A and B are shown apart, each in its own frame.
Chain A
Amino acid sequence: MYRYDEFDAAFVASRNAQFANQVARRLDGSLSEDEFRPIRLRNGVYLQLHAYMLRIAIPYGTLSAKQMRVLAQIGAKYDKGYGHFTTRQNIQFNWIKLIDVPQILAELAEVSMHCIQTSGNCIRNVTADHFAGIAKDEIADPRPIAELIRQWSTEHPEFLYLPRKFKIAVTGASADRAVIRAHDIGIQIIDDVKRGIGFRIYAGGGLGRTPVIGKIIKEFVTHEKLLGYLEAVLRTYNSEGRRDNKYKARIKILVNETGLEEFIKQVEAEYAISDTSSVDVDADEIARINAYFALPKLLGRSETKYDAALNDSAFADFAKYNTIPHKIDGYVATTISLKPIGGIPGDATSTQMLAIADLADKYSSGEIRITHHQNIVFPHVAKDDLPELCAALGAMGLATANVGLISDIIACPGLDYCALATARSIPIAQEISKRFESSQKQAEIGNISINISGCINACAHHHIGNIGILGLEKSGRENYQITIGGDATLDMALGERLGPGIDAEDVPDTIERIINRYLHLREEGEEFIDTYRRLGIEHFRVAFANQGQILSEDL
């Protein structure tokens, strides 16, 4: 895992001291709220519906057990005993007191963590595939590149006041697990026959009120020239991006208004006149960063206990749904679902976080990942340890075998917490999860994604859920629009609306009707998205119409 160098440590310490002073000046009235707001946001402190919220960066979703212990402690000491993992691989605490923030930041700094650039119109936390360095379909580990970008973008003086926030994601595998095409810049590691390993660059993706799928702007960039090229993209955006209307200020709007070809020309022209020598990366630097992400030494192990445990159906389900094969034989990456039936998607209590830290030390070389699905991954688990790990997780309420299934719902905090939300998300997720509680039913339905956002800002990526649910306010009531056909992979697609919005109490019935329709229509081996693509939305509209009635053809 990466460790902060001297520059990082000194920078974070200096920034924390600066912010502690700014908090003190806010509290004594030397700074007004108008003056203080942009400062606190740049340090991850929001004022939400009920209290201050602190967003802590988890670079490319990678955490050590030691860092998780500190997060557990912050939840216990300064919050209400729980934290919320987000779709950008960060963690948020919802009940933080402003007076406590300087001390919290000091405790985070002790384990090389901070909240800088988790808000504001700057380059945000870089995200990556949560199976980085593990997955068998990987071309190259995306974490060293994500780390390179983290170092480059942290306090980059030119890009601290962009027209709007800017999000970058990196994937290194043939399957995109980092939703790169929904980012301002998406980076895909590719292996070109002639040129070797390099990067394909997507730009102009983003969800929110104007969902746009990112498009390729550069087929191939080398390691050496990657940062120089990213600077050219950012400079073009910084120079040409709109600042007159915050809703039209993201790079996706610039790309659309300029036209893809013209935008690419502008970037290339910028790149041609740029002196990239200060950001070109040589092989030694790449090797230095790569070394931080070397696999831990994983010893060969028997699989006797694992094989025997498969006779237990609960364990077999856990092994089937919550693990993927590791590059090293005899090992698996294990996903810990933060989606217990009827639970709050992405939430973990401090006691659970502490247990996760201890179990990561015991079973995963001290490494933990956070997924954009709001789950947790132990990257390096020996298969023979899996029965023991599963039992220990079960004792903590963390062994739900539902990864990728219908109850593995992505949901934003919604109107229960968020000042921007227009409807609640979490209770809708809880009700749907309870509706499909049966593990047999979930297995029958198979892989499917449900994403629920509580406003058009789309923090839960509802546009690209196989089933997307968007909560809005209509005439003083919560109202939910349902889309189907969204896809978060490299074949990214935006869902289509089934019809007018419906009341909260009708959502679980409607989802059940859509699922029944799918089960009725699907052919052998099809997942929900396949059936939708084969037949189109019209075949599902019947499940949406006539609310409250069960039609015979749905069954």
Chain B
Amino acid sequence: MKNKIPAPAILSAHDLREGYVAYWTGELWSRDINQAKIAHADDEIIEMETVAASFIAQNIIVDFAIIPIAHIAYKITSKTLRESFLISGPTIDYGEPSIEGALNVSI
């Protein structure tokens, strides 16, 4: 099988139940990008795809992606625009969420 994504790369997916982005650490799924296992060679990427397929079959994750990365000064960044925002999260500063009074609404 020929891998199309160049190493180094990481494996991301969405947690099926909650939908949030998670990264494969080599042992489990973590929300922390810095815990992500980095595949340095094609065969490691293919292995990651096998891992993803297995977790999809177990209904733990959905919609996985292999993300080519740069690993500079211990910080992982994506080499592609879309995935860089997937990793960073929204770039908008919302400040503290404002929910005062809205948790116990009487309708």
**Chain A interface (Cβ within 8 Å of chain B)?**
26-29, 33, 47, 49-52, 66, 69-70, 72-73, 75-77, 80-82, 96-99, 110-111, 344, 349-354, 415-417, 421-424, 426-427, 430, 473, 476-478
Knowing that A51-B21, A415-B82, A424-B85 touch, tell me 18 more A-B residue pairs with CB under 8 angstroms. A28-B59, A50-B20, A50-B21, A51-B19, A52-B19, A73-B102, A80-B94, A81-B99, A81-B102, A111-B107, A349-B97, A350-B97, A415-B85, A416-B85, A424-B91, A427-B91, A473-B81, A478-B81
Of residues B79, B82, B98, which shows the largest number of chain A Cβ atoms within 10 Å of its Cβ? B98
CA separation between A82 and B19, bound complex, in Å? 18
| Contacts A81-B97, A424-B85 given; does A72 touch B105 at CB 8 Å | yes
A82 proximity list for chain B (CB < 8 A): 94, 97-98
A503 to chain B, nearest CB (A): 13
Contact B59–A97 (Cβ < 8 Å)? no
Which residue of chain B lies nearest to A348 when distances are taken between CB atoms in the complex? B98
Would A344 and B85 be within 8 Å (CB), given that A47-B63, A352-B98 are in contact? no
Decide if B100 is an interface residue (CB 8 Å cutoff): yes
Interface-side segment among B1-9, B10-18, B38-46: B10-18
Chain B interface size, as a band, is 20 to 34
**Which single residue of chain A is at the shortest CB-CB distance from B62?**
A33
> A-B contact count, CB below 8 Å?
113
A66-B102 in contact (CB<8A): no
Does A99 contact B103, Cβ atoms closer than 8 Å?
no
CB contact between A96 and one of B19, B79, B90 (< 8 Å): that residue? B19
> In the complex, what residues of B have CB within 8 A of residue A344's CB?
92, 94
B100 is contacted by which of A28, A111, A351 (Cβ under 8 Å)? A351
Tell me the bound Cα distance from A142 to B56 in angstroms: 47
Chain B residues within 8 Å of A, Cβ to Cβ: 14, 16-21, 56, 58-59, 62-63, 79-82, 85-86, 89-92, 94, 97-103, 105-107
B81, A98: Cβ atoms closer than 8 Å: no
> Considering the chains assembled together, what is the distance between the CA atoms of A76 and B81 in angstroms?
31
**Complex Cα spacing A476 to B79, Å:** 8
A349 touches B98 (CB 8 A): yes
B95 to chain A, nearest CB (A): 10
Q: What residue in chain B is nearest A349 (Cβ atoms)?
A: B98
**Do A33 and B20 have beta carbons less than 8 Å apart?**
no
Given that A82-B97, A98-B17, A349-B98 are contacting pairs, would A49 and B105 also be in contact in the complex, using a CB cutoff of 8 Å?
Answer: no
A9 to B102 CA separation, bound complex (whole angstroms): 25
22 A–B contact pairs at CB < 8 A? A29-B58, A29-B59, A50-B90, A51-B19, A69-B105, A70-B107, A72-B105, A73-B105, A75-B99, A76-B99, A76-B103, A111-B107, A349-B98, A350-B97, A350-B99, A351-B98, A351-B101, A354-B105, A417-B90, A426-B92, A473-B81, A477-B81
In this complex, what residue of B is CB-closest to A347?
B94
Q: CB distance B98 to A350 under 8 Å?
A: yes
> In the complex, what distance in Å separates the CA atom of A42 from the CA atom of B16?
18
Q: Which residues of B contact A417 (CB under 8 A)?
A: 90
Which 6 pairs, one residue from A and one from B, show the smallest C-beta to C-beta distance?
A81-B97, A76-B99, A349-B98, A350-B102, A52-B19, A76-B102
Q: Bound state CA distance, A473 and B80, in angstroms? A: 10
Kindly provide the distance from the CB of B53 to the nearest chain A CB, expressed in whole angstroms.
Answer: 12
Separation of A76 and B20 alpha carbons in the complex (Å): 18
Report chain B residues within 8 Å CB of A26. 16, 59
Is A73 a contact of B81 with CB atoms below 8 Å? no
> Do residues A422 and B82 form an inter-chain contact, with CB atoms below 8 A?
yes
Q: Name the B residues within 8 Å of A81 (CB-CB).
A: 97-99, 102
From A357, which residue of chain B is reached at the shortest CB distance?
B105
Question: Complex Cα distance A413/B91, Å?
Answer: 11
Residue picked from A33, A66, A110, most chain B C-beta under 10 Å = A33
Nearest-CB residue, chain B, relative to A358: B101
Q: What separation, in Å, do the CA atoms of A344 and B92 have in the docked complex?
A: 8
B59 close to A75 (CB less than 8 A): no
Q: Are A51 and B94 in contact (CB under 8 A)?
A: no
Docked Cα-Cα span, A73 to B98, in Å, equals: 11
**A416, B92: Cβ atoms closer than 8 Å:** yes
Chain A nearest CB from B52 CB (Å) reads: 12
Q: Is the CB of A49 within 8 A of B19?
A: no
Please indicate the chain A residues that have their CB under 8 angstroms from the CB of B89 in the complex.
Answer: 50
Contact assessment for B91 and A349 in the assembled complex, using a CB-CB cutoff below 8 Å = no
Contact of A27 with B102 at beta-carbon distance under 8 Å, contacts A50-B86, A416-B90 already known: no
- Judging by beta carbons under 8 Å apart, are B19 and A47 in contact? yes
Q: How far is the CA of A80 from the CA of B20 in the complex (A)?
A: 13
Q: How far is the CA of A458 from the CA of B55 in the complex (A)?
A: 35
Whether A351 touches B59, Cβ cut-off 8 Å, given contacts A82-B94, A476-B80, is no
- Residue in A75, A415, A430 whose CB lies within 8 Å of B102: A75
Kindly list chain A residues whose C-beta atoms are within 8 Å of the C-beta of B19.
47, 51-52, 96-98
B102 pairs with A33, CB closer than 8 A: no
**Bound-state Cα–Cα, A66 to B105, Å:** 10
A99 in contact with B18 given A69-B107, A351-B98, A354-B101 (CB within 8 Å): yes
The distance from the CB of A212 to the nearest CB of chain B, in whole angstroms, is 28
| Minimum C-beta distance from A456 to chain B (A) | 14
- Chain A residues closer than 8 Å to B107, beta-carbon distance: 66, 69-70, 110-111
- In Å, the complex CA distance between A33 and B53 comes to 12
